[in-house]
A and B are shown apart, each in its own frame.
Chain A
């Protein structure tokens, strides 16, 4: 173990002082921050226009609504009840972006469903909620209770609007949070790909310049391989740490300066608010409080960074060890430095499949395929991160099974890889074929 650690530390030093590592450590997170800023700043720049159909069979709203000054939302009324499936499939409704159902239950429960085809921005959601609620207040105050709207507002129970994807009414797929899981899974795959290739090239180079034989005079092939994987892994973790710190500081700085949380009382400017109250309508003030798009909301309010990061590290280490074993054994088996490309491609292909599995999970989280993919060590680092972001709900134990299987597979792979590494590392000049790998695998 001491030898493995010495090799790992040498590897770490060699990596850390390389230009590519330094560039990747700083340019990478800065690129992520710039990209995040662009999404924050311009994510909703193209204002959505919504054509909303209100199904009002009891004619509570009497075909009236109170639209704001902007014309981003157009309302139409239907006097019949419309099921969301009919709305989704019916050609007569294809021009409408959303369906709101107003009926007795809405009046009783104060909960209204908004079925949308394409997810609205927070600004649009707020406007719809505000405008429908204003009209409902009038209906309630005048026609139900016979009191003034002002008095009713004081005693009312607010209307809760539930936004539902008409193509996914049970909320199984593709939430914003899932994208965060997919992003983190993508980072895992990116790091595994980058650092896996580093292992492969490094092992092949040391093999071709024969330093490996000098080292094997003192340490076993297993120690050599473990040291290499550990060293490169430590540099990957260090890089990830630098990414986390830079991105963390960047997000914090943006929150403090560019995208201030104006709902937080500490940041409230009461003088400015009072002035706004005088100059602006109530609606405008409402909207200004959520003037940032849903990405800001997602990043600052919805993600449980502590939880996500701890699982991220767990799956990152497991996934890295699992794949690193493949890369190390492949590097050790190559006859020349340029050999073995035909085996690198399938590995990269598997990594891309893992990435696609994450995307698939976002769209079909409840499918039986996903249930398998989350346990398969090739795909679990991404799939489990997406599932985690979506929320495991009552089936929380699955993530532990997933992680246990990943680590067990990683250990098994390291044993298999060590055997190929040991038998292949001193074979030179051949053209690598599958039969070589199989022979070296069988050989004790």
Chain B
């Protein structure tokens, strides 16, 4: 599980004097979903293209499964670019067949795998239709199918959920989680932080051509936590305030009705979470209490904003 599948070392890439990647390094372990995060223009797509050997780095190297990446390794990688296209004049079946053959699959193999995805996505009636006859969502399913048809060890998805309705987003997520369970490795580049929290194990954040953070989701959240704790209780609000005394400070409160509240507090002096619970017990009925962790959305904004020049 902890074995490294992809190792990106000190990648530098510039386009016409504009730096797209500045000394970026990261490791992706086998069997994990790795989030590649960053604002628009940060260099994520450039990094993905370098990994896919679509563009060559000015400096640095990419190692795949223990060796320097070679053209042959591309057959073990599936890639769904952000701005993806299809041959509009081809049928769904022919399209998948063509891209499957480019990935080195045999015709019979492609047919079997295609059938699985047609069943999964409920697309059997569409297999003979030309791409130009498909709806946007349906075309995106075809694109996803073509990216995973050869059952790659590493799947790189650049904004895979854009354009999908919520039902299909859940369908794709389910497939990604299943792939992870099957031991596949996934790199997911997305701006949707909710999805990152839900399916990514680890993530790296790239901003202005540099990697500014990397770690598990909880590590990233932990680095950005603000010392806030939340208590959900039933009782009198005044009693709650009096019980806190000087060791704590109320940050904000939410009233739920029927004498129920959720209050967020910060610690003063050397007070701990246990101290908070001790002072409250007997004064109000505590329903739940927890340490408030920042969402990935908060992490993203906190990390990107201080250095952002974008207005």
Report which A residues bind B (CB closer than 8 A). Answer: 3, 6-7, 10, 14, 18, 206, 209-220, 426, 439
A212 touches B49 (CB 8 A): no
Say if the beta carbon of B283 comes within 8 Å of chain A: no
Task: Please give, as numbers and ranges, the residues of chain B lying within 8 Å of A206 by CB-CB distance.
Answer: 85, 87
CB of A18 to closest CB in B, whole Å: 8
B102 touches A215 (CB 8 A): yes
Q: Residue on A with the closest CB to B15?
A: A427
Given the complex of chains A and B, what is the CA–CA distance between A211 and B87 in angstroms?
7
Task: Please give, as numbers and ranges, the residues of chain A lying within 8 Å of B83 by CB-CB distance.
Answer: 210, 213
Task: Please give, as numbers and ranges, the residues of chain B lying within 8 Å of A7 by CB-CB distance.
Answer: 102
The stretch of B71-79, B213-221, B242-250, B273-281 that contacts the partner chain: B71-79
Top 4 closest pairs, chain A to chain B, by CB = A211-B85, A209-B85, A217-B79, A210-B85
Given the complex of chains A and B, what is the CA–CA distance between A3 and B72 in angstroms?
12
Residues in B273-295 with C-beta less than 8 Å from chain A:
none
Choice from A10, A213, A218 contacting B103 with Cβ under 8 Å: A218
A218 touches B85 (CB 8 A): no
A217 touches B52 (CB 8 A): yes
Choice from A14, A210, A219 contacting B102 with Cβ under 8 Å: A219
Given the complex of chains A and B, what is the CA–CA distance between A75 and B31 in angstroms?
101
| 13 further contact pairs, Cβ within 8 A, besides A210-B83, A217-B79, A218-B103 | A3-B102, A6-B101, A209-B86, A209-B88, A211-B85, A213-B81, A214-B81, A214-B99, A214-B147, A215-B102, A217-B78, A217-B81, A219-B102
A214 touches B103 (CB 8 A): no
* A and B contact pairs by CB, cutoff 8 A, 21 listed: A3-B102, A6-B98, A6-B101, A7-B102, A10-B98, A209-B88, A210-B83, A211-B86, A211-B87, A213-B49, A213-B54, A214-B80, A214-B99, A215-B99, A217-B52, A217-B54, A218-B75, A218-B99, A220-B71, A426-B54, A439-B16
Task: Please give, as numbers and ranges, the residues of chain B lying within 8 Å of A215 by CB-CB distance.
Answer: 99, 102
A210 touches B84 (CB 8 A): yes
Say if the beta carbon of B92 comes within 8 Å of chain A: no
Report which B residues bind A (CB closer than 8 A). Answer: 16, 49, 52, 54-55, 71, 74-75, 77-81, 83-90, 98-99, 101-103, 143, 146-147
Given the complex of chains A and B, what is the CA–CA distance between A314 and B146 in angstroms?
39
Given the complex of chains A and B, what is the CA–CA distance between A215 and B87 in angstroms?
11
Most buried by A among B74, B99, B102, B143: B102
Task: Please give, as numbers and ranges, the residues of chain A lying within 8 Å of B81 by CB-CB distance.
Answer: 210, 213-214, 217
Task: Please give, as numbers and ranges, the residues of chain B lying within 8 Å of A216 by CB-CB distance.
Answer: 52, 54
Task: Please give, as numbers and ranges, the residues of chain A lying within 8 Å of B88 by CB-CB distance.
Answer: 209
Task: Please give, as numbers and ranges, the residues of chain B lying within 8 Å of A218 by CB-CB distance.
Answer: 74-75, 99, 102-103
Given the complex of chains A and B, what is the CA–CA distance between A3 and B71 in angstroms?
12
A214 touches B84 (CB 8 A): yes
Contact of A426 with B102 at beta-carbon distance under 8 Å, contacts A212-B85, A217-B74 already known? no
A14 touches B49 (CB 8 A): no
B55 touches A426 (CB 8 A): yes
Contact of A14 with B87 at beta-carbon distance under 8 Å, contacts A216-B54, A218-B74, A439-B16 already known? yes
Q: Residue on B with the closest CB to A17?
A: B89
Q: Residue on B with the closest CB to A427?
A: B15
Q: Residue on A with the closest CB to B152?
A: A217
Q: Residue on A with the closest CB to B49?
A: A426
CB of A335 to closest CB in B, whole Å: 14
Given the complex of chains A and B, what is the CA–CA distance between A217 and B146 in angstroms?
12
Given the complex of chains A and B, what is the CA–CA distance between A220 and B52 in angstroms?
11
Most buried by B among A10, A206, A215: A10
Most buried by B among A10, A210, A215, A218: A218
